[in-house]
Amino acid sequence: RHHHHCQLLYLVHWAGYENTDEETSWLLATELDHVGDDHASDIVSTFHECYPHKSGPYQPLP
């Protein structure tokens, strides 16, 4: 996780790209919706369950 200009970013470690320049990249939280499967959202949810004190994606007020 990382914030850049008030946008939440996640550091993604890509499987199959070990020891390459593409092994990791920072993605906006909104970009994780387009990774291709629900696994990314499950990982993000698990992260925030384990670290509830860490900031998460922006949640609009009701």
* Distance (Å, whole) CA 13 – CA 20: 11
The helix (H) or strand (E) run that includes residue 13 is strand 7-13
% of the chain beyond a pLDDT of 90: 16
pLDDT at 19: 95
Q: What is the DSSP letter of 44?
A: H
* Res 7 pLDDT > 60: yes
pTM to 2 decimal places: 0.62
* C-alpha to C-alpha distance for 59 and 26, rounded to whole angstroms: 21
Residue-level pLDDT at 3: 54
Output the DSSP codes for 26-41: EEEGGGGGGSSSTHHH
